[in-house]
Structures are given as C-alpha cells and as structure tokens.
C-alpha cells in the first residue's frame, strides 16, 4: 500500500479503510492508493475531548462499510490531507450531517457555507450531540490548550 494525496478538483470514489476521528478518514482508491481525507468546513471534537468518540462513531456509521464513498476535493491542507466534501449513496453531504447531528462545529475559519452555519445554529438550539454540554470547547481551542506549555 502507498499513500496518495489528490489535488483539488479530482473527484474519486473509493472504500473507507480507516476512520481516525470525527473529521478525518482514509479512503482506498483504485484498490491500492490510500488518500487521507479531512472533511471540509467542519471541525469535530478531538478523540480525547467530550463527544470526540461519539463524533468518530457517528462518522463511521455514515461511511464505514457503505460501499463507494465519493469525495470532492477542494484543496490539500498543511498536513497533505485532501480537504473534501464527502458523499455516499445514502448521504448527500456527510459533512453537513455531522453538523446537524451536533458532532461538529461549522469551521468558519475556513468555510463560509451558509447551510453549515444554519445547521450549527439549529443543532445548538435543539441541544443535540455536543450541544448538550453546558460549555462546549471548540476543537481548535482544545488543541491550543493541549499544546500550551505550563509555566
């Protein structure tokens, strides 16, 4: 097996071989090429964060053993992952469904998708998923805390 990183505009299909967390997975393309994919426009809780495991499980339920998964790549991130919108035969926009279920924030630092903003507002209002927490911490803030050295 070897790793491949797709450029923007390529729209491959493949089978999910690993779900790392609530917004990252590995897609097997052409039977042997592995593509690391980061879901575009969302930020899911880290695995060691509240709702992190549930976010991973929810993403897995939509893309694991679901046959072909299609990604629409917009760019590569600084880690070489293909940043993409994801769909399956039964889910048109996996990224949006993560937000609707309350397992991801709309990542407004990198996305201005109005549907994602509306979905997050509704999930907050309905207190679903991570919005049940009285004080949810954005993953980017959690990551900063984790890497800040103690004085």
Over range 108-131, report the average pLDDT: 96
Token pair listed for 98: 């993560």
pLDDT digits (tens, 9 = 90+) for 13-27: 999 999 999 999 999
Task: Tell me, yes or no, if 38 is annotated catalytic.
Answer: yes
Task: Tell me, yes or no, if 78 is annotated catalytic.
Answer: no
Considering the chain, what percentage of its residues have pLDDT values greater than 90?
A: 80
Over range 102-129, report the average pLDDT: 96
Give the pLDDT of residue 31: 87
Over range 73-99, report the average pLDDT: 96
Q: Is the pLDDT of residue 149 over 50?
A: yes
Rounded to two decimals, what is the model's pTM?
0.88
Give the pLDDT of residue 4: 47
Residues, the chain, total? 151
The alpha-carbon radius of gyration of the chain (Å, integer) is 15
Give the pLDDT of residue 2: 39
Task: Tell me, yes or no, if 143 is annotated catalytic.
Answer: no
The DSSP code sequence of 48-63 is TSTTHHHHHHHHHHHH
pLDDT digits (tens, 9 = 90+) for 13-68: 999 999 999 999 999 998 889 999 999 999 999 999 999 999 999 999 999 998 89
Between 60 and 2, residue with greater pLDDT:
60
Q: Which one of 40, 81, 97, 120 is the catalytic residue?
A: 81
Closest CA to 39 of 67, 68, 66, 60: 60
Token pair listed for 46: 């880290």
Q: Which one of 15, 33, 40, 46 is the catalytic residue?
A: 46
């Amino acid at each position: 097996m070897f790793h491949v990183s797709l450029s923007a505009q390529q729209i491959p299909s493949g089978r999910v071989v690993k779900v790392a967390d609530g917004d990252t997975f590995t897609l097997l393309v052409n039977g042997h090429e592995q593509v690391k994919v980061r879901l575009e426009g969302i930020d899911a809780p880290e695995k060691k964060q509240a709702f992190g495991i549930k976010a991973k499980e929810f993403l897995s339920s939509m893309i694991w053993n679901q046959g072909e998964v299609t990604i629409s790549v917009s760019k590569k991130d600084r880690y070489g992952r293909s940043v993409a919108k994801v769909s399956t035969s039964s889910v048109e926009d996996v990224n949006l469904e993560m937000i609707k279920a309350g397992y991801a924030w709309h990542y407004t630092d990198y996305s201005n998708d109005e549907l994602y903003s509306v979905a997050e507002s509704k999930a907050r209002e309905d207190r679903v998923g991570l919005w049940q927490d009285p004080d949810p911490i954005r993953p980017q803030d959690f990551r900063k805390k984790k890497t800040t050295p103690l004085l």
